[in-house]
Amino acid sequence: MNLPTKTDLKREGFLYEATLLYGTLAKRIKKWPPGHRRTIGDQMLRASLSVVSNYAEGFGRRGLQQVKFVDIAQGSLQELIGQIRAAMCAGLLDYRFARGQRARLHDLLRELCEIQVSRGKMSPQRRDMLLTEFRL
């Protein structure tokens, strides 16, 4: 699986979905009390922006550099999933909201894992483990 072409980035595909996720979180976090907005809220926004930024930067690279940025995007996405779980436990995000984002998060993580598998940088078993572990 290759990273998307410029045509793919218009209204569908990974970057579109990742950007929508960032925007959805930004709107929700804006409503949080200031203390939470500046702590876990900022961390969540940085992680989701890192997914978008590193994937986009990887898109402009080739070879090992491309894989490196995709790997960073994947790590940021896994971090974000953990932060969403923490925000749910703290009562900042309700279960319904998180479940509404579940499919988007899972699809994004699956796509990043598939890129790694196709490049020989991740085993299919590791991919399956990650997709199971990082479900909301």
For the segment 48-94, what is each residue's pLDDT rounded down to a tens digit? 999 999 998 987 888 778 888 989 999 999 999 999 999 999 999 98
From the list 90, 95, 97, 48, the residue with the least C-alpha distance to 73 is 48
- Cα-to-chain-centroid distance, residue 68: 15
* Assigned architecture for domain 7-133: Up-down Bundle (1.20)
- Whether pTM > 0.75 for this model: the answer is yes
Is a pLDDT exceeding 50 seen at residue 1? no
What local confidence, expressed as pLDDT, does residue 128 receive? Answer: 92
Note whether 67 and 119 are within 8 A (CB).
yes
Are 21 and 62 in contact by the 8 Å Cβ rule? The answer is: no
The predicted structure's pLDDT at residue 78: 92
Percentage of the residues of the chain whose pLDDT score is greater than 90:
46
Cα dihedral sign, 62-65-71-74: negative
Domain residue spans of the chain: 7-133
> Which structure tokens are listed for 12?
């569908």
Tokens found for residue 122: 């991740």
